Amino acid sequence: MRVRLSGLIAEPFRELHRDILAGENREYWLKGGRGSGKSSFIALEILLGLLADCEVNAIVYRKVAATLRESVYEQLLWAAEKLGIAGNIRARAQPLELCYRPTGQRILFRGADDPGKSKSLKIAQGRFGFLWLEELTEFASMDDVRSIKASVLRGEGRSVTFASYNPPMSPANWVNEEVLRPVLGRKVHMSDYRDLPREWLGEGFLREAEALRESDMRRYRHMYLGEVTGSGEEVFENLCLRRIENREIEAMDGGFAGLDFGFAADPDAFVRMDYDRKRARLVIVDEFVGYRMDAQSLAEEIKRRARGARLTCDSAEPRAIYALRECGVAATTAKKGPGSVRRGMRFLQELTEIVIDPARCPVAAREFSAYAYARDASGRPNGAYLDRDNHTIDAVRYALESEILSRNAKTFERERMGI
């Protein structure tokens, strides 16, 4: 039976299909909302991979074993039917397993309720060439994933790991943080239901998506578009985490820098940024975080990174500022004062966009994305700003203090005039 893959693999996945065929990467993270086609694509790729190499087998994990049958197991049976090989598939229910009769290749299904159980997993014929981690967000941490991979993907030969998931709402979730980390051999792909032919989804699905879009845009963006929308408790809803190209930075002024001094277990945090006043857009282009640094070492690091930017420092450490000046750093002191934290935070929140490249500035990316409001005794956000895990945030406030004060002065003047 001849099968046209163009009728099974949607346009947004075709480049990814070619990448897998060419062996370009060893790990593929597919993220997207409901109906995005990611699980269907992975099921097809695993079966195509088994047909191409009779020495490989596959294993599929979900966090809880009881969820396997109604999800990935059925998805692979669907893929076998579409590829015209369902008649050659032997399906076993206890334990869940699919076997390709002509070669004896197997697809195993396991729950990761205890990742340690994978340590004793062996297969009599061939090796595991494909690992699929479905609903990655169900796993507790990247350590669970590493444990499974180390146990399953042993021996020689190429192996491919697929991870599929709907991104969690919170930017601080471990999956959302991990996917931003550049990893050699890992390719990240995103899709949503709008990328697929309407007839694949059905009118009922499309009506439900449209109804949610009209009634609750945040839930729609998360559930159907797979966007990291935040839960509404994050302070910086204007945050944009993305790659920043060198050519972008070269075209920027990059004229602001800030330094938050560390104490005891807290680090010194330096950031350099570009602020576009007209567009109300902030781009953080560089950072440095160090612990218990002497003045000379800190000064050398700042001089290497500041590139002529005006440096504003935490005024709580006048001796440290004096020491930096003695080392040749043109350091100015933040004025602070009553209400300065709230004014600075409101200024940052009201910007059109705060752009951070997680590869260039991983600490700033983590702190800005995870920073949430304090909670009251009942556990509800109370609008107060927490003074923890905010070293780069404070450094940004100091760097932009002149802009913050200028904006507040203009606002006060307008209010005084009744405008």
If one counts every other C-beta atom within 10 angstroms of the C-beta of residue 157, the result is 12
Whether a cis peptide bond, with omega within 30° of 0, leads into 362 is no
Instruction: Tell me the pLDDT of the chain (419 aa) as tens digits.
Output: 677 888 899 999 999 999 999 998 999 999 999 999 999 999 999 999 999 999 999 999 999 888 898 899 999 999 999 999 999 999 998 889 999 999 999 999 999 875 555 666 778 788 999 999 999 999 989 999 999 999 898 877 889 999 999 999 888 788 988 998 889 999 999 999 999 999 999 999 999 999 999 999 989 999 999 998 877 778 998 898 888 999 999 999 879 999 999 887 889 999 999 999 999 999 999 999 999 899 999 999 999 999 889 999 998 889 999 999 999 999 999 988 888 898 999 999 999 999 999 889 999 999 998 898 888 777 777 778 888 899 999 999 999 999 998 865 444 444 333 44
Residue 358 in contact with residue 235, Cβ under 8 Å?
no
Q: What is the CA 118 to chain-centroid distance, rounded?
A: 27
Strand partners, 32: 191
The pLDDT value given to residue 116: 54
Which one of 45, 134, 135, 234 is the catalytic residue?
Answer: 135
* 3-state secondary structure (DSSP) of residue 290: strand
Q: How far apart are CA 185 and CA 160, in angstroms?
A: 10
CATH 3.40.50.300 boundaries in the chain: 5-215
- 3-class DSSP state for residue 96? strand
Q: Is 135 a catalytic residue?
A: yes
Three-state DSSP class for 179? helix
CATH of 5-215, one of 3.40.47.10, 2.60.40.10, 3.40.50.300, 3.90.1010.10: 3.40.50.300
CATH, domain range 239-416: 3.30.420.280
CATH 3.30.420.280 residue ranges of the chain are: 239-416
